[in-house]
Amino acid sequence: MNIGEIARRAGVSRSTVSYALSGKRPVAAGTRKRIQDVIDELGYRPNAAARALKEGRTRTIGLVIPPAGRRLSHMQLDFVASVVEAAAGADLDVLLSPSGGDHDRSFEGLVSGSRVDGVILMEIRLEDARVDRLRQAGLPFVGIGHTADDRPMCWIDVDYAGLIRHTVRHLADLGHRKAALINRSPELVASGYGPALRAREGFTAAVAERGLAGVEVACGEDARSGQETVEDLLRDHPGLTAITTINEAALPGIQRALGDAGLTVPRDFSVTGVAAHSWAEDFRPPLTAADVPALEMGQQAVALLIERIAAPSTPPRHILLAPPISLRSSTGAVPSRRDATAG
Amino acid sequence: MNIGEIARRAGVSRSTVSYALSGKRPVAAGTRKRIQDVIDELGYRPNAAARALKEGRTRTIGLVIPPAGRRLSHMQLDFVASVVEAAAGADLDVLLSPSGGDHDRSFEGLVSGSRVDGVILMEIRLEDARVDRLRQAGLPFVGIGHTADDRPMCWIDVDYAGLIRHTVRHLADLGHRKAALINRSPELVASGYGPALRAREGFTAAVAERGLAGVEVACGEDARSGQETVEDLLRDHPGLTAITTINEAALPGIQRALGDAGLTVPRDFSVTGVAAHSWAEDFRPPLTAADVPALEMGQQAVALLIERIAAPSTPPRHILLAPPISLRSSTGAVPSRRDATAG
DNA sequence: TTGTATGCGTTATCAA
DNA sequence: TTGATAACGCATACAA
């Protein structure tokens, strides 16, 4: 089924059908109706490849996700879903591409095969070869996260440093004197993952600013690791009365370990951090935390990318989100008895 | 950068470059090397749209995911990741399409725009209009799940009925006399979601077969709903000593409610069901359950689809997976004191 | 208001 | 062993 067949059946030329569809040239009402009837009857849709070839754009964007081996976090998942949704709203298809590991071929296909009009790049590292590659290819892209260097690029990120700093100040205000940062996985930290390093930065700064004792640990992204990490912390760091974290997947384990140690939150121990809304609400008691606005980020990322595709030579914009910290019930005044953590 | 430019620089014709790339015609070694050098130097990749237009296939498959409003479960997430991975291995791109809600346009674009060579359809309902649409369009597809009617189609599914039946028998063997099935969300049950109805079917059959008292409840797909559901069950059904479930997202809440009620698993209460490996391992104690092999399903689904694309007129195959039930530690003999649940 | 003709980048047929 | 050329389906400049 192609445009010629529609034209033949409607008794008009191919260009008239094309113009009737695009509206870029006036078409007599009667003609238009005749064409539309045939289209409806046959369920015709223009061939995407032919259109892409002719127009020089694919109406498709690429979404580069972290490799499949590591499970995506809820936050990332919400993000993917909202990107797909926002793209659909703008009449854009979304091509998924894993990256990292042995998937360089897939990524290469995206950037050099004229497969997509632009790319959204998830999980950016402080030094990220993919960013260089995209820049070199001249393909419009938006990063979720930003690199360490200050070369201009278009990105949207959460201000992990600022938010973690904020949570530590909150803990200090409540009288806590010793706090731990439970960071993302050792692999991510080692690979220079931006949020992990920036969270560390914010933590270190706030701890110094307020004269707290601070300890930072990396932690696997699952409940079991969270539990072990907190068990270790409680054993090795007497006097610890609070945790802040950006590792949402560890939260159930953190909860479990505190419970096992006989610590009641927030009476005996305070927990806070940055997490997707649903994780914060699922904590018990509900977590005082900055809610990562994953859905909003997806929409904004698509909007930013559309903007860049339309005007690639414009100086790139970026957005640093600092969602407010929702005061829920997981933080409280430091316990009066210092040996509370002795369990 | 196109094939003509490569040809010009290598001093050959366009067809020679094409044949050097595809290997469908012998090319002199020297010529081939000259061409390859130019290609490597310029980083040329054939234009996907032009190739698709000429070949009549897109080397792209569509993955229709559940609507974004409802969060994907971990199992579904693992599945998506493994599909992308398997597709990349077969040199296929993956186009993501939400369905349901107001996304019919996106789905329509997929099926009638010659956008993809085939489709993987997630979360199939017992009656599913999308299946009819794909059949009518003559587009190869593989369902994750299968419809109620017995018209031939290609699918891969987990034998929820059989697995739940199996878990109930296991509970009966341990002496339990009253068990509950915690099903998926009310919305999914109401919409005729296959796994939910087939789990019910297996539960009802096994309960009747072994003469147990059985109660089935739908439950939202989050920890909070799981907790409330179990609280209600314990209150309304004295004598209840076991739960089986296919609602993995409710597991943390189930755990919490049992703990709050002072019940120790498996001494006072048994829990089992069907869940992704990671959920089962995260339960405490580890959940005796059938592990949904999401990664394997993704690979198989892609393999099945490739098979169908290659031979569309072949009678469709299907695969019903019945993973073994991993005996972990969450089920045990029925508590001797009947009023254990009164605690 | 509508029709004709061209070219997007590729693959494959035909000719040499 | 290689080159010239047609065709895939569409959008659009040009003609009428």
What was the pLDDT predicted at A103? 64
Q: What domains lie within chain B, and their CATH numbers? A: 3-55 (1.10.260.40), 60-158+294-321 (3.40.50.2300), 160-287 (3.40.50.2300)
Q: Can you give the distance from the CA of residue A88 to the C1' of nucleotide D14 in angstroms?
A: 36
Residues 6+ apart with CB under 8 A from B165: B202, B203, B205, B206, B209
Closest residue (Cα, C1') to D5: B15
**Angstroms from A291 CA to nearest CA on chain B:** 17
Please report the sign of the dihedral spanned by the C-alpha atoms of residue A8, residue A13, residue A15, residue A19.
negative
* Residues of chain B found within 8 Å of residue A97, distances taken between Cβ atoms: 84, 88, 93
- Report residue B258: phi and psi, to 5°: -65, -45
- Report residue A143: phi and psi, to 5°: -95, 140
The lowest-confidence range among A71-75, A148-152, B62-66, B76-80 is A71-75
- Across all residues in chain A, what is the average pLDDT? 92
What was the pLDDT predicted at B109? 86
Q: Are A277 and A291 in contact (CB under 8 A)?
A: yes
- Closest nucleotide (C1' vs CA) to A1 is D9
Q: What stretches of chain B show up as alpha helix (H) in DSSP?
A: 3-10, 14-22, 29-42, 48-55, 74-89, 104-112, 129-137, 160-173, 186-190, 194-210, 223-236, 251-260, 277-282, 294-310
What was the pLDDT predicted at A278? 82
Is the confidence at residue A212, as pLDDT, over 70? yes
**Angstroms from A191 CA to nearest CA on chain B:** 21
| Numbers of helices and strands, H then E, in chain A | 14, 12
- Closest nucleotide (C1' vs CA) to A25 is C1
* Residues of chain A found within 8 Å of residue B78, distances taken between Cβ atoms: 71
* Residues of chain A found within 8 Å of residue B58, distances taken between Cβ atoms: 48-49
User: Taking CA B74 as the corner, what is the angle to CA A322 and CA A328, rounded to the nearest 5 degrees?
Assistant: 40
Q: What stretches of A138-193 show up as alpha helix (H) in DSSP?
A: 160-173, 186-190
Q: Can you give the distance from the CA of residue B110 to the C1' of nucleotide D9 in angstroms?
A: 17
> At A101, is the pLDDT very low, low, confident or very high (cuts 50, 70, 90)?
low
Residue B8, CB, strand C, below 7 Å: no
Q: Which two tokens stand for residue A90?
A: 């703008």
Q: Which two tokens stand for residue A117?
A: 């009009």
Q: Are A39 and A98 in contact (CB under 8 A)?
A: no
Residue A30, CB, strand C, below 7 Å: yes
Please report the sign of the dihedral spanned by the C-alpha atoms of residue B180, residue B182, residue B186, residue B190.
negative
Q: What percent of chain A has pLDDT over 70?
A: 95
What was the pLDDT predicted at A66? 80
Model's pTM, two decimal places? Answer: 0.91
Asked if B333 has any chain A CB less than 8 Å from its own CB, the reply is no
Contact map slice: B 35-74 vs A, CB within 8 A: 43-50, 52-53, 58, 60, 63, 65, 68, 71-72, 74
* Residues of chain A found within 8 Å of residue B71, distances taken between Cβ atoms: 74, 77-78, 81, 278
Per-residue pLDDT, averaged over A33-46, amounts to 95
Contact map slice: A 261-300 vs B, CB within 8 A: 278, 281-282, 284
Residue B91, phi-psi category: left (phi > 0), alpha (psi -120 to 50), beta (remainder): left
Q: Coil, strand or helix: which one is A64?
A: strand
Q: Which two tokens stand for residue B40?
A: 């490597």
The lowest-confidence range among A22-26, A275-279, B91-95, B227-231 is A275-279
Instruction: Identify the CA nearest to A79 among candidates A98, A97, A63.
Output: A63
The DSSP string of B133-202 is HHHHHT--EEEES--SS-----EEEE-HHHHHHHHHHHHHHTT--EEEEE-S-HHHHHTTBHHHHHHHHH
* Residues of chain A found within 8 Å of residue B85, distances taken between Cβ atoms: 68, 98, 103
Per-residue pLDDT reduced to its tens digit, A249-263: 899 999 999 999 999
What was the pLDDT predicted at A68? 59
Q: What stretches of A120-272 show up as alpha helix (H) in DSSP?
A: 129-137, 160-173, 186-190, 194-210, 223-236, 251-260
Q: Can you give the distance from the CA of residue B47 to the C1' of nucleotide C11 in angstroms?
A: 12
Closest residue (Cα, C1') to D8: B54
| A50 to B53: CB separation less than 8 angstroms, yes or no | yes
Residue B47, CB, strand C, below 7 Å: yes
What string of H, E and C letters represents the secondary structure of B277-296? HHHHHHCCCCCEEEEECHHH
| B109 to A93: CB separation less than 8 angstroms, yes or no | yes
The lowest-confidence range among A22-36, A74-88, A117-131, B127-141 is A74-88
| B224 to A65: CB separation less than 8 angstroms, yes or no | no
- Report residue B146: phi and psi, to 5°: -140, 155
Q: Which residues pair with A142 in a beta bridge?
A: A120
Residue of B nearest to A105 (CA): B88
- Residue owning tokens 């996106």: B106
Q: Which two tokens stand for residue A302?
A: 């698509």
What was the pLDDT predicted at A225? 95
Q: What percent of chain A has pLDDT over 90?
A: 78
**Angstroms from A119 CA to nearest CA on chain B:** 14
**Residue B12 parent element (H or E):** none
> At A72, is the pLDDT very low, low, confident or very high (cuts 50, 70, 90)?
low
Per-residue pLDDT reduced to its tens digit, B56-88: 999 999 999 886 556 667 777 788 888 998 999
pLDDT along chain B (343 residues), means of 10: 95 97 95 96 95 96 79 76 90 88 78 93 91 93 93 95 98 97 95 94 98 97 93 97 96 94 96 92 93 92 96 93 95 74 43
Is the confidence at residue A340, as pLDDT, over 50? no
Per-residue pLDDT reduced to its tens digit, A223-233: 899 999 999 99
- Report residue B222: phi and psi, to 5°: -160, 165
* Residues of chain A found within 8 Å of residue B105, distances taken between Cβ atoms: 88
Residues 6+ apart with CB under 8 A from A308: A118, A140, A141, A142, A154, A314, A316
Per-residue pLDDT reduced to its tens digit, A156-203: 999 999 999 999 999 999 999 999 999 999 999 999 999 999 999 999
Instruction: Identify the CA nearest to B176 among candidates B210, B217, B203.
Output: B210
Find and list the nucleotides of strand D having atoms within 7 Å of a protein beta carbon.
1-5, 7-13
| Other Cβ atoms closer than 10 A to B53 | 19
- CA dist., res. A291 & res. A300, Å (int): 16
**Angstroms from A107 CA to nearest CA on chain B:** 10
Which residues of A spanning 42-101 put their CB closer than 7 angstroms to strand C? 50, 53-54, 56
